[in-house]
Amino acid sequence: MEKPKKRGATLSRELVSHEQATHEPSAVEPPVVEREVISRKELARQFRRQAYQRAKAARATDPKHLALKEVVKQRRRELYQRVKEQRKSRDAEREVERKAAEAKQRAEAKRQLAERVKSVIGPASEPGRALARDIERALQIADVKELIEQLRAQSPSLAAQHRDPLDDDSGA
């Protein structure tokens, strides 16, 4: 019993063997042509694929399509830049708010610490002011000038005292 033949189109392809591709074709040998039967569905799929390839090649060189692509690209970049700027400004605002909150917390902690110190030491004496007065008394301008004069007078003797004997031998 014979199988029923498929109804379909025939597609011809030229098959050139590797030997024919490497050697010069002779006038005597015609190329081998093979015909195969394919279904209509497969043939339609091949035609669709060829049409797609032609349309793709046409779009690649069409000036209108290329101009549209460029406009879309510019719009996308502008939108991205706008969103990026908004995000940066929002982040900057949040950073300012965070720093303000931290400064407020530090000021409150400092105030609480000062209250604790005053409660322990007492309200009559403030250690910071007493220390500043002591430093001011110790560093009167006349005292500083006197100290500088003493150091200048002693510097040659101190230098001679601490001079390295190896340095003297190497210089002579």
The answer to whether 34 touches 15, Cβ cutoff 8 Å, is yes
Considering the domain architecture, whether residues 102 and 71 belong to the same structural domain is answered as: yes
pLDDT in tens, 107-159: 998 888 888 877 776 655 555 666 666 666 666 666 677 777 787 787 777 77
Q: State the residue range of the domain holding 90.
A: 62-147
- Within-domain flag for 21: yes
pTM over 0.85: no
First to last CA, the chain: 125
Tokens describing residue 159: 């230098």
- Within-domain flag for 162: no
Distance CA 59, CA 150 (A): 93
- Within-domain flag for 39: yes
Considering the domain architecture, whether residues 35 and 49 belong to the same structural domain is answered as: yes
pLDDT in tens, 83-117: 999 999 999 999 999 999 999 999 998 888 888 87
- Within-domain flag for 136: yes
Contacts of 15 (CB under 8 A, 6+ apart): 31, 32, 33, 34
Last residue of a domain, one of 44, 61, 78: 61
Give me the helices (H) in 23-163, please: 40-61, 63-121, 127-138, 141-161
- Within-domain flag for 56: yes
Distance CA 38, CA 11 (A): 7
Task: Compute CA distances 111 → 97, 103, 123, 127, whole Å.
Answer: 21, 12, 15, 15
